[in-house]
Structure 1
Amino acid sequence: MYSLLVTCGAGKTEVLFKGIEKALTQGKRVCIATPRTDVALELSPRLQQVFPEMEIATLYGGSEDRTKNSPLTIATTHQLLRYYSAFDTIIIDEVDAFPYSVDPALEYAARQAQTEGGSTIYLSATPSKKMQRAVHSGKLSSVIIPARYHQHLLPVPFMEWCGDWEKRVKKNRLPGNVLYWVRKHHAANRPTFLFVPTIDLLERIVVILQKDYGELVAGVHAKDKKRKEKVADFREGKVKVLVTTTILERGVTVSDVQVGVLGAEDNLFTESALVQIAGRAGRSSQHPEGDVRFFHYGRTREMVAAIDQIRRMNYRAKTGGYLDE
């Protein structure tokens, strides 16, 4: 087993291309397994572009590719339950993410799906404490990439107090500084993510913002049947403000996006989640910077830890000579 520990937006998928190519030319079967359908759907066209001659199977609940037998497979981790000794190389993307991180059956499925003598590679930008200990003790071989491919620093989030925001939302209002932040970036024609802790609050906030911006505002969550279409509209600029739950904390890349978290003090927003959310900003070489705001009604250890983690990665990138300075 091997691990690749990278900062958000470092291009971990691109780092895999040469290794995947080598395995495929040797006649081996490769599977990239990811915890969420959204991420599988994001990866599929990227891999197809790199390997245009290769038929790629993309497997998730309801997928039409279930009967494909391809040398290169992209699947949600639950789909691994269907296989036994099928893949020479299994790459577990976002190994720290739900549900893989909390379901022993999925870890067992990954072991069963690997051929004898095959290899498993774990990818993570926010490794668990258990995984970090395994790396530090030498039980797990690792490669650490602390900088993004465009060689610029990670955007460091700002913590910004916004009062009892939940009480305001229930009165169909938003805190003044949150509204100002949205308006500023909208005026500059920058796409904006606004993460919130619950679906109920999301729906209220969408209604509030649509009073000013109409159909340029949309909301997405795990139960939203039009989630894929709304994310596509956001990428294409048809939607300018996307209010979302943590369902989009990983795997979604939008150029020049600005990121806000309303209610960052909520228990849902762990250190790992906040690092991933902050990692949505500054991912493209054309727009390597970004404005990340943790709007809160009281700072938490998780918020502080997330910012410290991002600063540590930036320090490692600086001292390691990874930056374009």
Structure 2
Amino acid sequence: MLFPAITAALKQGKRIALASPRVDVIRELFPRLEQAFQDVTIEALYGGSEHKAGKSQLILATTHQLMRYYQAFDVLIIDEVDAFPFYLDKSLMYAAKQAAKKQSTTLYLTATPRKNFRLQMKLGKLPHVFVPLRYHGHLLPVPKLKLAFHLTSQLANKKLPNAFQKWLMNRQNPQRQLLIFGPKISMIKELKEVITLLLLQTGAISASEELQAVYAADKDREAKIKQFRNRELHALITTTILERGVTFPSVDVAVLAAGHEVFNEAALVQIAGRAGRSADDPSGEVIFFHDGKTDAIEKARQMILDMNERGKKL
């Protein structure tokens, strides 16, 4: 959706910044934009990135990196504007405002606008475009809810619920990669071996294939995500760091302990959005395993159903 606007701005000699609170979003966007705009100088700025100068016409950056700039950009695009830490950190909001020129255009992107944005949109104070369908025209995968009794205590004891095991053995398309979300770093570390063993026993993976666990402070985080994207891993278990902004062509998504407080409505909608992103496989499975429904689970599922209803009318 952004390419026409970026192309038009570049032709006019404008300077553009595309920022996101999430470093994984920037890492993913950089090679895609580099390929699409081969005649334009592009830099990706984030902690530990190889680019340092930050003087290119097109800048990709985490929102923290915008603190480096003052009235530098004609066009400022903030992707995942509702993501942590941007929406909670007034200094980041101020930095974004300062980075844009006085005469400039700012675009906000999100699939899950927070209350203040929804209110401004409803009152007509924030011009917006709502797009309920993906580029391939297929409806969003709707999460299925699976009750697993004593799920939280089972996971804490490195045990997997029967409902999860049954689903693994009966997936619609076993060739899809698996993206599994857990609520805590300690939990996903401990479950890595248990889930790997289960996948081997069910024949979902061979002895030569691998499952990895990844989390924010993982020193091998970038490498593991790249391996998964390149289909060198069959399964990846993760925290909410991969809830948004990353694209894998063919995955099934499972959320273990979906009723945990870390999985709010926006997080669950974004997590569900990791499935079905490719035109070649637009209908990946999304399963929320829980030991009791929450408002967040119900509201997330309803939001996706509502978007699909709007999409059917287009």
TM over 0.5: yes
Q: Percent identity?
A: 45
- Measure the CA separation in 2 of the matches of 1:313 and 1:96: 18
- Measure the CA separation in 2 of the matches of 1:126 and 1:294: 18
- What residue is the counterpart of 1:306 in the other structure? 300
**Which letter does structure 2 place at the counterpart of 1:289?**
S
- Measure the CA separation in 1 of the matches of 2:153 and 2:37: 51
| Residue number among 183, 187, 194 corresponding to 2:180 in the alignment | 194
**Partner deviation per Cα, 1:264-309 (whole Å, 9 max, x = no partner):** 0001001000000000001100001011111001000000000110
SS in 2 for 1:84: coil
The question of whether the paired residues in 2 share the 8 Å contact of 1:182 and 1:192 is answered with no
Give how far 1:181 is off. Answer: 2.0
Give how far 1:187 is off. Answer: 7.6
The question of whether the paired residues in 1 share the 8 Å contact of 2:152 and 2:291 is answered with no
- What residue is the counterpart of 1:76 in the other structure? 62
- What residue is the counterpart of 1:10 in the other structure? none
**Partner deviation per Cα, 1:100-146 (whole Å, 9 max, x = no partner):** 11001111001100011111110010000110110111111001111
Number of equivalent positions: 306
- Measure the CA separation in 2 of the matches of 1:254 and 1:16: 19
SS in 1 for 2:129: strand
Matching of residues 85-164 of structure 1 within 5 Å: 85-164=71-150
The question of whether the paired residues in 2 share the 8 Å contact of 1:185 and 1:191 is answered with no
The question of whether the paired residues in 2 share the 8 Å contact of 1:186 and 1:240 is answered with no
Matching of residues 1-325 of structure 1 within 5 Å: 15-185=1-171, 188-212=174-198, 213=200, 216-319=210-313, 321=314
SS in 1 for 2:170: helix
- Measure the CA separation in 2 of the matches of 1:27 and 1:225: 38
- The gaps in structure 1 that reach 5 residues or longer are 1-14
- Measure the CA separation in 1 of the matches of 2:197 and 2:287: 23
Computed over aligned residues only, the root mean square deviation of the Cα atoms, in angstroms, reads 1.3
Name which structure has the greater RCO, CA cutoff 8 Å, separation 6+. 1
Give how far 1:18 is off. Answer: 1.0
Give the TM-score normalised by structure 1.
0.91
- Measure the CA separation in 2 of the matches of 1:318 and 1:65: 43
**Which letter does structure 2 place at the counterpart of 1:26?**
Q
- Measure the CA separation in 2 of the matches of 1:51 and 1:287: 27
- Measure the CA separation in 2 of the matches of 1:83 and 1:226: 30
Give how far 1:210 is off. Answer: 2.3
Higher mean C-alpha displacement, 210-219 vs 47-56: 210-219
- Measure the CA separation in 2 of the matches of 1:264 and 1:171: 17
Give how far 1:183 is off. Answer: 3.5
Give the TM-score normalised by structure 2.
0.94
SS in 1 for 2:4: helix
